Amino acid sequence: MALLQISEPGQSPAPHEHRLAVGIDLGTTNSLVATVRSGVATVLPDAQGRPLLPSIVRYGKDQVEVGYPAQARQSEDPKNTIVSVKRFMGRGVKDVDHLQNAPYDFVDAPGMLQLRTVAGVKSPVEVSAEILRVLRERAEMSMGGALAGAVITVPAYFDDAQRQATKDAGKLAGLNVLRLLNEPTAAAIAYGLDNASEGVFAVYDLGGGTFDLSILKLSKGVFEVVATSGDSMLGGDDFDQRVFCWIVEAAKLAPLAPRDMRLLLVKAREAKEYLTVHQEANITARLSTGEVVDVMLDTETFCRITQTLVQKTLVPVRKALRDAGLSAPDVQGVVMVGGATRMPLIQRAVAEFFKRDPLNNLDPDKVVALGAAMQANVLAGNKPQGEDWLLLDVIPLSLGVETMGGLVEKIIPRNTTIPAGRAQEFTTYKDGQTGMTFHVVQGERELVSDCRSLARFELKGIPPMAAGAARVRVTYQVDADGLLSVTARESTTGAEASVAVKPSYGLGDADIERMLRDSFEHANEDVHARALTEARVEAQRLAEATQSALEADAQLLSTDERATIDQALTALRAAVQKNDHRAIKHASDALNRATEEFAARRMDQGVRRALAGKKIGSL
């Protein structure tokens, strides 16, 4: 495990208090929460000592069960027991494979599908939020206080819609989402810090429903993702599906009722897991029709029926290597992540491809949560500068815009380091044209129809001009979470027209607020108390950061500027003493505005110092 850290005398890491921060692995099959305690990352177990939380939510008429209790009743109440909800995040009905094999009542909603349950129609975001809420409560109970923030992991190959949905779920669960972190990158952090590794590593992450392959360069204090690829619709669940289909065929079963379907899927999963250490698995089940299933699955047959899935994972492996400009022998180690990599046939295929034994020394179920906890600890500011590390990640899929003829013009190509921003100019094609429609897409194909549509928006109010005279600058900005925002601006004439969009999937900020309110009522928490606590934590964080910035760099401000900031700071501290969360929010915003210029100057100064240091160092 990581070394214990001892700080230099007089430079103890805590003039401020230790902020409670967690890493959450929101998995298809299981979810975990971890934190860093005394410099060591640990998974937080539930009251019974179990580290995993099955990602299963069962909706009853007036209560919601999450985890093991929901799992226990999944076969008896399949329609209201949602498993593998991660597969539906940011997805429409037509995007999901094997929909016919899922025993749910789907509702086709714009942007993202929904599920009809006995407790009403639920979006995958709400279902995921139930899982996150249980983990938040577990962490708060165990750590004895409200969380300052959380890092939630996502498959590296998740697109913008899936990432946005995950972040929304975090907010809905009452979490301050510090960052969305790619799962293979989280694993690399846990692994790299644990082993002080240097060089090129591949992370092969086969989870319950997603597959990622990332190539990273590890060097002292820097984790740089060079390329990432994957398949967000391929995982351990697909192996269960193959076994399920094999059972149906081998036992010559007629079309099944939902509960029998779920029963056999559970049996299929058990057989798959059993075959990890045995040669044969006996599958027996009594169906609701009274029919008895009794079949034997051996490893040879299992390999045969899942061979195409194993091969399917190697396609992204080759693609990522090509994108990185590397070949298999350049890779110094292959880290195995995700419960599905326990399957011997996966281990063999990876060993054969890379011509080296894969690395399995960290628990493949826990490594992502541990890495996320380490990153959360850094993001919360619990590590002094110099002991932290730099993480450079990329976007997995190209972002583009539709042009004439349904073609895609790529604006930010895949594997671009984030944060990234790029602009492209467009013009009108008709005289006097006053509006322009933009269609934002994500994907690698040339035709719009083969890519994922993220958003459509219209820029209105362009002053009438001759065709080709207007200059509309479309800017794509991807933040550190890998989330996109787009602005368009016409600025030839004095009259400016501009529009900004954040692609979102049927969930507006108002929807989230409403769901948040509902969920707190449901959880018997006081919405106002929670809002007040959050506003206070946020305000104190801001006041503290401003204070230390003033102490460090007061020389960057004129007397007047200093006075303005001091005034805003005093106002915020006064507001925190009162019980009005809106007033606190208002004062926070005011302080943020007052420090805008100061922040920019400090950043410039930081860059100048960094370069000056380099020049001295390189002499």
Residues 585-604 that bind another protein (CB under 8 A): 588-589, 591-593, 595-596, 598-600, 602-603
Judged by DSSP in three states, 590 sits in helix
Q: Tell me how long the chain is.
A: 619
179 contacts 150 by C-beta, under 8 angstroms: no
Judged by DSSP in three states, 188 sits in helix
Taking CB under 8 A as the criterion, the residue among 310, 315, 326, 499 binding another protein is 315
The answer to whether 391 contacts another protein (rule: CB under 8 A) is yes
Subset of residues 100 to 129 that bind another protein, contact rule: CB under 8 A: none
Catalytic site residue 168? no
Q: Which of 168, 205, 231, 273 is catalytic?
A: 205
Spatial distance between the Cα atoms of 10 and 500, rounded to a whole number of angstroms: 48
Taking CB under 8 A as the criterion, the residue among 83, 372, 380, 557 binding another protein is 380
The DSSP bridge pattern shows strands 199-206 and 333-337 to be: parallel
For residue 487, give every residue at least 6 positions away whose Cβ sits within 8 Å of its Cβ, in sequence order, or none. Answer: 474, 475, 477, 498, 499, 500, 501
Taking CB under 8 A as the criterion, the residue among 477, 492, 533, 564 binding another protein is 477
Spatial distance between the Cα atoms of 37 and 373, rounded to a whole number of angstroms: 10
Spatial distance between the Cα atoms of 327 and 318, rounded to a whole number of angstroms: 8
| Residue corresponding to tokens 């049996």 | 267
Nearer residue to another protein within complex by CB, 38 or 618:
618
Catalytic site residue 431? no
Taking CB under 8 A as the criterion, the residue among 140, 270, 479, 525 binding another protein is 479
Taking CB under 8 A as the criterion, the residue among 545, 550, 571, 590 binding another protein is 545
Catalytic site residue 205? yes
Catalytic site residue 77? no
Nearer residue to another protein within complex by CB, 375 or 442:
375
Q: Is 113 exposed, middle or buried (0-12, 13-18, 19+ CB in 10 A)?
A: buried
571 contacts 546 by C-beta, under 8 angstroms: no
Subset of residues 209 to 248 that bind another protein, contact rule: CB under 8 A: 222
Q: How far is the CB of 390 from another protein (least distance, A)?
A: 5
Subset of residues 322 to 351 that bind another protein, contact rule: CB under 8 A: 322
Q: Is 431 exposed, middle or buried (0-12, 13-18, 19+ CB in 10 A)?
A: exposed
Subset of residues 412 to 431 that bind another protein, contact rule: CB under 8 A: 412, 416-429
One DSSP character per residue, 274-327 reads: HTTT-SEEEEEEE-TTS-EEEEEEEHHHHHHHHHHHHHHHHHHHHHHHHHHT--
Q: Which of 46, 86, 126, 490 is catalytic?
A: 86
Q: How far is the CB of 595 from another protein (least distance, A)?
A: 5
Taking CB under 8 A as the criterion, the residue among 3, 196, 296, 390 binding another protein is 390
Nearer residue to another protein within complex by CB, 80 or 382:
382
Q: Which of 25, 159, 240, 490 is catalytic?
A: 25
Nearer residue to another protein within complex by CB, 117 or 313:
313
Subset of residues 164 to 203 that bind another protein, contact rule: CB under 8 A: 178-179
Q: How far is the CB of 518 from another protein (least distance, A)?
A: 28
Q: How far is the CB of 23 from another protein (least distance, A)?
A: 13
Residues annotated as catalytic (active site), given as ranges: 25, 86, 183, 205
